[in-house]
Structure 1
Amino acid sequence: PISMRAKCRRLLHEHRIDLVMVDYIQLMNAGTNFQNNRVQELSYISRMMKEMARELNVPVFTAAQLSRAVEQRHDKRPLMSDLRESGSLEQDADIVMFLYRDAVYNEASETPNQADIIVAKHRNGPTGTVSLYFENRLTKFTDARVDNFNLSGL
């Protein structure tokens, strides 16, 4: 995160950057010794991302993997506790959002083209779920409109 921060600082001065995206945080390493303690290392990385966002005054969008705990539950909708390897991710983040598609887990889903954005945390705003239309063959998300969905079963 230190070299990334320096690169972003340089890019900010040479060009204009409006957003930093990290795909995904568990692939990063701190470059310092954490005695093989991955939880502490990710906590450090998470803090560095937060500090970088403040310093550069740009949002830092960080994708993260979920733990396998979600696979063990009946309800597969992700929860904050499912963020893999670090509670500090949910603590440091201003906003935590998850993508969920019932059709991924349920072949008989009544909403195969629905994708939900679950806003699990929003430090300065509301939480809740926003439904989108998902076009699988294009891997494309669009606004959910009634005419996009098969409503024949209603």
Structure 2
Amino acid sequence: RSQKEGMLTGLTTGFLDLDTQINGFQPSELIILAARPSMGKTALVCNFAEAAADEGETATIIFSLEQSKLELAERLLCIRSGVNGHSLRAGDLEDDERHRLMEASSEISEMPLFIDDKPGRTIQEISAICRRLKRLSNLGLIIIDYLQLIEPEDKTMPREQQIAQITRRLKGLCKELNVPIIALAQLNRGVELREDKRPRLADLRESGAIEQDADLIMFLHRPDKYDPEDHPGLAEVIVAKHRSGPTGIINLTWMASSMRFANYTNMDVPEGGYMGDGGGFG
């Protein structure tokens, strides 16, 4: 939990340095979290969801258009308990791990956390569910995994226009409900072809509208995906666009066994790994 929580104007991300950089997730902000496949986008938003729901006062809904409710529940259990994901799936658990899982399961069941895993949701369906949830509970965070899987209203439109319509509707929904929306997005393959694999705004698929409508754009980058010797376990959250504050790079630690991220504690920060409060990017 963030030590600066009392000073945050937004909802905690669950990570100290990221909270400091963006001041938490702000009401009515459209937030994009983008990365290449298998970087850990879903794991990171599960961390965000767990931190937000753990506050106990605000409800969180995850629209999982790709993974099932069961898969997300498994991720949340691993994040909460710290139990190894492979051990959980294999049922090969020590007594203390079983105890931690039971405890985590009990805590998660008490959280105001909702998961909708129906594939092919339209923006109208997502909006209707969120409006109903806002009426029935104190909805504080909406997560969509992921943007490009939302069913377009008009399939004959060019793809870029379809995405533009979806991001415009999402931005409108943020404002209407006064709730932050985090939408995950895929990056195009151009990243893989460059020597410097750090994502840039131009790497967003159908990027024009996403870049224009988003208040905050973050990229998730793990150098060890490209070179296992390159800072193993280091993850970078690149704040590439920030309408109400500074851009920069925040370091997190990726804990693969329990499918979660943690505050970065290594003081020996790799060169270029953190650009500080004033560091511009992109």
Q: Deviations over 1:67-119 (max 9, x none)?
A: 0110111100011111112311111000000111110011331x111111000
1:82 aligns with 2:203: yes
**1:7 pairs with 2:120:** no
2:197 alignment partner AA: K
Give the match for residue 38 of structure 1.
159
Q: Which residue of structure 2 aligns with residue 58 of structure 1?
A: 179
- Whether 2:140 is the aligned partner of 1:18: answer yes
The aligned residue for residue 144 of structure 1 is 264
> How far apart, CA to CA, are the structure 1 residues paired with 2:238 and 2:253?
14
- Counterpart residue type for residue 15 of structure 1: S
Q: May I ask how many residue pairs the two structures share in their alignment?
A: 147
Superposition TM-score, scaled by structure 1 size = 0.89
Which of 221, 236, 256 is residue 100 of structure 1 equivalent to? 221
Secondary structure class of the residue paired with 2:138: coil
Could you tell me how far apart the structure 2 residues matched to 1:59 and 1:2 are?
17
Contact 1:133 1:148 in 2 (8 A): no
CA distance in 1, matches of 2:219, 2:144: 15
User: Which has the higher relative contact order, 1 or 2, with Cα contacts under 8 A spaced 6 or more apart?
Assistant: 2
Of 168, 172, 175, which residue of structure 2 is paired with 1:47? Answer: 168
Distance 2:267 2:246 in 1: 27
- Contact 2:215/2:242 (CA < 8 Å) preserved in 1? yes
Q: Give secondary structure in 2 for the equivalent of 1:112.
A: coil
Distance 2:170 2:204 in 1: 16
Whole-angstrom distance in 1 between the partners of 2:232 and 2:176: 42
* Counterpart pick for 1:132 among 252, 268, 273: 252
Asked if residue 112 in structure 1 is aligned to residue 232 in structure 2, the reply is yes
**Partner of 1:19: helix, strand, or coil?**
strand
Where does the alignment leave 5 or more consecutive residues of structure 1 unmatched? 150-154
Residues 164 and 209, structure 2, Cα contact 8 Å, conserved in 1: yes
Deviation for aligned residue 1:139: 2.0
Looking at structure 2, the residues matched to 112 and 137 of structure 1 have their Cα atoms a distance apart, in angstroms, of 13
Conserved 8 A contact 2:145-2:184: yes
2:150 matches 1:28: yes
Distance in 1 between residues matched to 2:152 and 2:173, nearest whole Å: 14
> Mean alpha-carbon deviation: is it higher for 134-143 or for 96-105?
134-143
Q: Distance in 2 between matches of 1:8 and 1:141?
A: 27
| RMSD value, Cα | 1.6
Q: State the TM-score, normalized to the length of structure 2.
A: 0.50
Does structure 1 conserve the Cα–Cα contact (< 8 Å) formed by 2:146 and 2:184?
yes
